[in-house]
Amino acid sequence: MPRKTAETNDQEESMTVPVPQNIDEIDNISRMLGSVLDYLSDEENEEIDIEYIFDKTEGLREWWGRYQERNRKKIEEEIKASLGELSFEDLQKIHEQIKENRADVH
């Protein structure tokens, strides 16, 4: 059987999602997943309305916010790693976005 490359192993590690540590959290996530899947499997829904899902699934919006914050560091590292592959024009666009963002904050 062929061996996996180191790159494949790195990709698998970056896709790892933290496992809930207690039964209540697992039950809560299971309930939210069931609610979302009920919505997605309803053939009457012609398009996905994420705001509706957030509004109708108790705790999902808060969980999603926490999930995004936990993954912020990973996203920052992915961006840093990809900067060397971008064209100068792309880097300039990003630089302008950062400057605009800083101006909006101050």
What's the mean per-residue pLDDT of the chain?
Answer: 85
Query: What's the pLDDT tens digit per position in 28-65?
Result: 999 999 999 999 999 999 999 999 999 999 999 999 99
Cα 41 from Cα 34, distance rounded (Å): 10
One-letter amino acid identity for 7?
E
Instruction: Read off the tokens for 103.
Output: 């101006």
Are residues 60 and 32 in contact, defined by beta-carbon separation less than 8 angstroms?
Answer: yes
pTM over cut 0.85: no
- Can you list the alpha helix ranges (DSSP code H) found in the chain? 6-14, 23-41, 50-56, 60-70, 72-82, 88-105
Whole-number percent of the chain with pLDDT over 70: 80
